[in-house]
Structure 1
């Protein structure tokens, strides 16, 4: 596959991933959404279906990595880093596009949520807390775009992201790559989608399971740039954890694969 195929495929695939994944979070969280308060099960299955849709859509074009941690894992497995920058650039750009599309699709709900007196009344008390368990610099809709911890503990949060990503990338590497060796096969894509659901159900509680640097960083940038009223901060003090943790997890998974399965 050519560099242009990889770049375009990763943009499209990651945009679809974030559109559907961020979209289910918006549906559950935002006021005046028909799916408001649908709960964690809806979010985890929504993200699983988002992965499945994006992988099947672009697997033949780019291999549908859709995640720098997966790209790093495959690069370590194959000892081939030549296309890593192209993959990562497409993934981050695609994630930003997907996040912007979520904002467009839920524009009215964002406006209603962020101008609701009840939501506004909650913010000053939260921001004034000195030792806040959640994110002191996170606005009320940041969770639609990116992740954050329920208990702010750097080493626990980092470990959680590493562990979740090891499970994801090891699943990708062991569930059958396509003939090119650069992405998931048909059955592997379906299995991995359910693995994402499983990670969300079992390991998503502490941090919201980014397990994907592009999935978190791209939408966080969009949150910082969008003209959302009363949007609050983008919690940049936490932003490194869902980037570094998954990259470490992807490398660890590749090491386990090379030792145990290769």
Structure 2
């Protein structure tokens, strides 16, 4: 179980967060070659990060996301037996991998993080999401909807003859980012937001702000709810 799930899932999630946080760092931090690249560059970069992460984690099934793991279970997938134990292994690997990936991103961009010109809000934005208009009900609903689309379509992929594998998931993430990413930054993955937020809290980043923990529960609870609802509906509609 350790080698079959934990390590591939950890490495895949670390790859996802290294490249995903990396593209945000390249765009928003001062004194980078990609500074000012804009939201489309970030959206495409996150999609390609998912593409790479899925390939790295293929041995584990490449969930890379607690919402996907819980959504699959809600749809009736027992994950091959020992479901409760495997869920815990997946969740642990995803969180540790997310912290690791975000930390590697910081190491790659350490000089830019420490530069006087880099804004503390931008530094935090490399690691985790934040709403454009803070409103709990709206922010939570946006994360539920975005994650529902992610998990439901992933489950639907499994019913198609080819599914296109990692490419399909990458394009789906790009579509969600371009369409639904505006209000909250589309965490759509509890590990993707929580792991890097923990890293931001612990890392010795110069002139950083607080890690906005008052918002942190929304990109955890919203995706979990959205993923489980997607799994239940997929089962009811015979997609699972």
Pair in the same fold by TM > 0.5: yes
Q: 1:151 aligns with which of 124, 128, 133?
A: 133
C-alpha separation between the residues in 1 aligned to 2:153 and 2:39? 23
Q: Which residue of 2 aligns with 1:129?
A: none
TM superposition shift of 1:111: 1.2
Please, which runs of 5 or more residues in structure 2 have no aligned partner?
none
In the alignment, structure 1 segments of 5+ residues that lack a partner are: 124-138, 179-184
Provide the C-alpha distance between the structure 1 equivalents of 2:22 and 2:41, rounded to a whole number of angstroms.
Answer: 11
The answer to whether the 8 Å contact 2:143/2:188 transfers is: yes
In the alignment, which residue of structure 1 is the partner of 2:18? Answer: 19
Q: Distance in 2 between matches of 1:75 and 1:259?
A: 13
Q: 1:4, CA displacement in angstroms?
A: 3.2
Is residue 93 of structure 1 aligned with residue 73 of structure 2?
Answer: no
8 Å Cα contact 1:13-1:55 kept in structure 2: yes
Instruction: Please say if 1:171 is aligned against 2:153.
Output: yes
Report the alpha carbon displacement of residue 72 of structure 1 after superposing the two structures with TM: 0.2
Matched, 1:108 2:111: yes
Alpha-carbon shift at residue 189 of structure 1 (Å): 2.0
Q: Is the 8 A contact 1:176 1:187 kept in 2?
A: no
1:78 shift after superposition:
2.5
> Could you tell me how far 1:54 is from its partner in structure 2?
0.8
Say if 1:177 and 1:20 are closer, same or farther in 2 by CA, change over 3 A: farther
Supply the distance in 1 between the matched residues of 2:122 and 2:210 (Cα, whole angstroms): 9
Distance 1:177 1:84, change over 3 A: farther
The structure with more radius of gyration: 1
Answer yes or no: is 1:195 the counterpart of 2:172: yes
* Conservation of the 8 A alpha-carbon contact between 2:147 and 2:227: yes
| Paired positions, count | 233
CA RMSD across the alignment: 1.6
Q: 1:171 to 1:225 in 2, by over 3 A?
A: same
Give the secondary structure class of the aligned counterpart of 2:57.
Answer: helix
Q: Deviations over 1:66-122 (max 9, x none)?
A: 00000001111235333100000000000000000000111111111xx23x84xxx
2:75 aligned residue: 77
TM-score, normalization by structure 1: 0.85
Q: Which residue of 2 is the match for residue 128 of structure 1?
A: none
Q: Where do 4+ consecutive residues of structure 1 move more than 2 Å? A: 78-82
Q: Does 1:221 align with 2:198?
A: yes
CA contact (8 A) 2:26 2:34 kept: yes
Supply the distance in 2 between the matched residues of 1:62 and 1:78 (Cα, whole angstroms).
18
Q: 1:140 to 1:189 in 2, by over 3 A?
A: closer
In the superposition, the TM-score normalised over structure 2's length comes to 0.93
Per-residue Cα deviation, 1:184-211 (whole angstroms, up to 9, x for no partner): x771321111010000000000000000
